[in-house]
Structure 1
Amino acid sequence: MKATVSWQQAMQFRGTTDTGHHIDMDGEGNAVSPMEAVLLAAGACSSIDVVEIMKKARQDIQACRCEMSAIRADDAPRVFKQIDAHYIVSGNDISEKHLARAVELSAEKYCSVMLMLRGNVTINTRYTIE
């Protein structure tokens, strides 16, 4: 895997992956900040796992959203101290047992982004079935 980050103007940068996808980032609030991108990556990575695990468990999942929040250190470097991930899942006859297991497996075994952060960041998860 490779990526390139190129300065565009002011404090704006474009990240481009070797697969040709890109994300615009900014240090002044005009686009996603690099730390917001990390938080989004954790939520997306984990949500992919949850949906996959639920489908493999033959759960009729129709929607999944992950509401993320983070607490950062007060002083530089302003690293994440805590991340909270709340999964809201809907579908037909969703099993709470299956959803609990999917969230647990993602956070503790499969989500590479969360696993990279583990040890440095407290990660809390919870879920709701709508």
Structure 2
Amino acid sequence: MQASVKWLDNQRFVGTSESGHTVVMDGDKTSAASPMEMVMMAAGSCASVDVVSILKKARQQVTGVEVQLSGERADAVPAVFTRMKLHFVVTGFDVSDKHVERAVSLSAEKYCSVSIMLGKSVDISHSFEVHQAEFG
């Protein structure tokens, strides 16, 4: 895997992935997410891919998945993450708590490369809630 990051101006940079996708990052957080925010969102998106895939394979009628992320960072430099929480909000029709719990657990323990990698030095926790979708 390869990527590049190019300085634009001030504290703004554009990253380009091997697949040709780009993302802007801003160390000042004025015009884009910061690199550390990107790390947290990467963990959330990686885990969400797993959760959605596992629930679809289990034939759950999922209509929405959101992961709410919170993180704590060290007070000293480098201000690394010390804790991160991923809270999944799953919406659908008759979605089973048991299936969601299993999907979140499999992502956390087996599939999500980003959160498993971060978990080597960050205290990562996972939780979830399930909401019934409304017809209409």
Pairwise TM-score range, normalised by the shorter structure: over 0.9
Which amino acid is the alignment partner of residue 34 of structure 2? S
2:134 alignment counterpart: none
Aligned length in residues: 130
Which amino acid is the alignment partner of residue 35 of structure 1? M
Percent of counterpart pairs with the same letter?
Answer: 48
- Does residue 24 (structure 1) correspond to residue 24 (structure 2)? The answer is yes
1:118 is displaced (CA, Å) by 1.3
Distance in 2 between the 1:28 and 1:100 partners? Answer: 37
SS of residue in 1 equivalent to 2:29: coil
Q: Deviations over 1:68-119 (max 9, x none)?
A: 0000000100000000110000111101111000000001100000011112
Which amino acid is the alignment partner of residue 21 of structure 1? H
Q: Tell me which moved more, 51-60 or 22-31.
A: 22-31
After superposition, residues 29-44 of structure 1 pair within 5 angstroms as 29-30=29-30, 31-44=32-45
Which amino acid is the alignment partner of residue 113 of structure 2? S
Query: Please, what is the CA RMSD of the aligned residues?
Result: 0.6
TM-score, normalising length: structure 1: 0.98
Which amino acid is the alignment partner of residue 94 of structure 1? V
2:97 alignment counterpart: 96
1:10 is displaced (CA, Å) by 1.0
Distance in 2 between the 1:73 and 1:63 partners? Answer: 33
Give the gaps of 5 or more residues in structure 2.
Answer: 132-136
SS of residue in 2 equivalent to 1:107: helix
SS of residue in 1 equivalent to 2:59: coil
Give the gaps of 5 or more residues in structure 1.
Answer: none
SS of residue in 2 equivalent to 1:19: coil
- Does residue 126 (structure 1) correspond to residue 115 (structure 2)? The answer is no
SS of residue in 1 equivalent to 2:7: strand
TM-score, normalising length: structure 2: 0.94
Q: Deviations over 1:43-71 (max 9, x none)?
A: 00000100000000111111000000000
Distance in 1 between the 2:90 and 2:29 partners? Answer: 30
